Amino acid sequence: MRYRLALAPNTAKPTNEVRAVRDPSTAQAQPIRQTRPNEQLLLGRYRVMSSCGTGGFGTVLTCWDTRLQRRVAIKRMPLAIRGVYSGGAATMSEALAEARTSSMLAHPNIVTMFDFENDHDYAYLVMEYVDGIQIDDVAGLKAAGIDVRRIGERLGENYVKQIVEDGYFHADPHPGNIWVRGGKIVWLD
């Protein structure tokens, strides 16, 4: 084992505490076992749990990451093949640009981008799974004790702040891309 400086929880500030941590470069690789016989894994590691919906640029899947043992959302975008566009197909550079832009945004109210993969037909954006309530599920918001009027006000304030103060904004703000988690708005996609 190697030792490294620990960081204070939820900050980037070092503490005086030193912890033993497993150095991934010295760890023995463990084979990943499939949990079900003949199970097909997306990208060799993600078990598809459900489809969350399909939009203009692809399908969002809820998956289980068999390696890290966590739930993730994967946006599967069809790629334009040999320069031929069909439907909402994106080029590889467009898909990678979206993943790179998303990965630069670090904010608790913006979904976190974990990874980007591709095969010949699709680009895969692996993101944080948000367990929340879709912004237009008024009954669900009220049942969770959330003031829908206040959420509406904060949504408007948040969007104007994105444009005026932050210098970037969510270009596709429909109800499927705006969720409420713990009483706070989370921007997806």
pLDDT value, residue 37? 59
Give the residue numbers marked as catalytic.
Answer: 172
**CA 122 to chain CA centroid, nearest Å:** 17
Amino acid identity, position 123: A
**CA 145 to chain CA centroid, nearest Å:** 26
pLDDT value, residue 128? 93
Dist. CA 130–CA 133, nearest whole Å: 9
Mean pLDDT by 10 residues, the chain (189 residues): 35 38 38 56 94 83 96 92 61 89 86 92 94 94 95 91 84 86 87
pTM of full prediction above 0.85: no
**CA 32 to chain CA centroid, nearest Å:** 23
Dist. CA 75–CA 126, nearest whole Å: 7
